[in-house]
Amino acid sequence: EPEVTQTPSHQVTQMGQEVILRCVPISNHLYFYWYRQILGQKVEFLVSFYNNEISEKSEIFDDQFSVERPDGSNFTLKIRSTKLEDSAMYFCASLTGTGGDEQYFGPGTRLTVT
């Protein structure tokens, strides 16, 4: 069964450093998303991406965040200058966009900023 994959599974970085989180969505999916979940809290929407551009973003997704689909398979989230409060689990999700379907979530990347 096709699945969303994410790398790395765990990333430790120092405050102020740049990180890139990678996702490979399911191949025939058209919509891509990033969510984050701070430990013990709810899942929060960050950004959605369709047709090679951001379709929506939340207040959390400020200028330090960016997303890219550099080729036909990868979908990346970049955090330019990490802060302690960026420590969270980051989930990538995708869906086909044909209507009525669900978002499939990847296993997540745990980001720890020290």
Task: List interacting residues with another protein (CB under 8 A).
Answer: 31, 33, 35, 41-45, 48, 56, 58, 91, 95, 97, 99-108
**Minimum CB distance to another protein, residue 96 (Å):** 9
Distance CA 56, CA 53 (A): 9
- Of 20 and 43, the one with the shorter C-beta distance to another protein is 43
Q: Distance between CA 112 and CA 114 in Å, rounded?
A: 6
Contacts of 61 (CB under 8 A, 6+ apart): 46, 47
Strands 10-13 and 109-113: parallel
Q: Give the residue with the Cβ less far from another protein, 60 or 66.
A: 60
CB of 33 to another protein, least distance (A): 7
Q: How far is the CB of 10 from another protein (least distance, A)?
A: 11
Q: How far apart are CB 53 and another protein at their closest, in Å?
A: 15
DSSP strand pairing (10-13 vs 65-68) = unpaired
User: Please, which residue, 44 or 66, has the CB nearer to another protein?
Assistant: 44
Query: Percent helix, strand, coil in the chain (nearest 5)?
Result: 5, 50, 45
Q: Nearer to another protein by C-beta: 57 or 69?
A: 57
